[in-house]
Amino acid sequence: MPAHRAFIALSLGAMLIGLAPIFVRLADVGPAAAAFWRCFLAWPIFALALRWSDASFTPVADAPATRLPYAWLILAGLFFAADLALWHYAIQRTSVANATLLANLAPLFVAPAAWLLWREAVSRRFALGMALALAGTVVLVGRSAQLDVQGLVGDSLAIAAALFYAAYILAVTRLRRDVGALRVMTWSSATVAAVLLPTAWLLGERIWPASAQGWWVLAGLALLSHVGGQGLIAQSMASLPAALSAVGLLLQPLAAALFAWWLLAEGFGLAQLVGGAVILAGILLCRSASRPASQKPSLAA
C-alpha cells in the first residue's frame, strides 16, 4: 500500500477508535468484559474474511503456515489485552480527560524503542511534530484534567496502558512486514477474548449485557472501533514507520472529544479547537519528516 494511502487508513482508523470511549461509557458490563465483547464479537468477521478471501486487506501475502510467527501473533494480542483492560479500568478510577491524555503517551515510548530495535531515525523535524501533537493533546483535554491522590491509581493505570499500547504498535508494525492484516487481527482478537473473559469473571464483573441497548453498544464497539478502526490501523502499519503510526493515533483523543460533543453534548470550546489544530499540525509535520517504511526490517531479518 502506498504510504499516503496507509496514512489515510491510519487516520480513519484513529477516528473510529475515538468512538471507543463513548461505547465504553455507555456499556452496561464491566471494563474487562467490554474489552472481551469488543474482540469476541469482532473475531468471527476477521476469521471468516481470512478464511474465504483470496487476499486480505493488504497485497502482502501471508507466510506459509509452517513459518507463521505464532509467538509474535500471540504476544501482540497479550499486549493489546493488557492495554484495553488497563485503559478501561483507568476510566473508572480517574477522569476521562486524564485517562485519555495519559493513555495516548505511546509515541514517547514507541519512538525510542523503534530506534533501538530497528534504527528508525527520529529527525529534529519529526521530534518537533511529535512534541506539537502531544502538546495539542494536553491543550485538548487539559482543562478537564486534574491531579489528586484518589485519581493516582487511575492515572498510573492509564500510563501502564500507554506502555502496553506502545508494545502492541511495535509488535504489529513488525508483524505486518510478513503477515497480512486479517491474520494479525484474527489472532490478536482471539487472544484478547481468551484472556479477558476469565479476567472479567475473576474480578467479579458483570459480563452479560442487561438490555438490548447494551448489546447494541457492544456491537458498535466491536464493529466500528475494532473491525473498522483497529482493522484499518493494522492495515496501515505495513507501510508506515512505527513512530509515525504512534503519533498519527493522537487523532484518537481529538475524535473522541468531537464524538462526545456530538453524541453526549459535552463541551467543545476554543481550547479544544486550538488543541485539535495543534494536534493536526504536529501529525502533518511528522508525516512530512518520516522516511519510507520500506527501510524497516522484517521478521525474517
What pLDDT does 142 receive? 65
- pLDDT score of 159: 87
Q: Taking residues 121-128, what's their average pLDDT? A: 82
Is the predicted pLDDT of residue 268 greater than 50, yes or no? Answer: yes
**58 pLDDT band (50/70/90 cuts)?**
very low
The reported pLDDT for the residue numbered 33 is 96
Domain boundaries, the chain: 3-295
Note the pLDDT of residue 270. Answer: 79
Q: How far is CA 56 from CA 41, 68, 230, 257, 284, in A?
A: 19, 15, 15, 32, 28
The residue that leads in pLDDT, 133 or 53, is 133
Least confident of 79-83, 90-94, 142-146, 247-251: 142-146
Answer yes or no: is pLDDT of 260 > 80: no
pLDDT recorded at residue 37: 97
The mean per-residue pLDDT over the stretch 170-178 comes to: 86
Asked if residue 73 has pLDDT above 60, the reply is yes
- Across residues 175-179, what is the average pLDDT? 84
Residue 297 has pLDDT above 50, yes or no: no
End-to-end C-alpha distance for the chain, whole angstroms: 21
| pLDDT over 50 at 146, yes or no | yes
Asked if the model's pLDDT at residue 67 lies above 70, the reply is: no
Mean pLDDT throughout 198-204?
A: 96
pLDDT at site 191:
96
Pick from 39, 139, 100, 149: nearest CA to 249: 100
Q: What is the mean pLDDT of residues 168-187?
A: 89
How far apart (Å, rounded) are the C-alpha atoms in residues 131 and 127? 6
Task: Tell me which of 58-67, 148-157, 231-240 is least confident.
Answer: 58-67
Give the angle subtended at the CA of 1 by the CAs of 256 and 126, to the nearest 5°: 60
For the residues 236-248, what does the mean pLDDT come to? 85
Residue type, 224: L
- pLDDT tens for 217-234 read 999 999 999 999 999 999
Would you say 124 and 285 are in contact if contact means Cβ atoms under 8 Å apart?
no
**How many residues appear in the chain?**
301
CB-based contacts of 278, cutoff 8 Å, min separation 6: 132, 133, 135, 136, 139
Q: What is the mean pLDDT of residues 6-35?
A: 90
| Higher-confidence position of 126 and 56 | 126
Average pLDDT over residues 27-37: 94
Residue 249 has pLDDT above 60, yes or no: yes
pLDDT band at 156 (very low <50, low <70, confident <90, very high): confident
Set of cell numbers at residue 176: 505486518
CB 140 within 8 A of CB 275: yes
pLDDT top residue among 84 and 255: 84
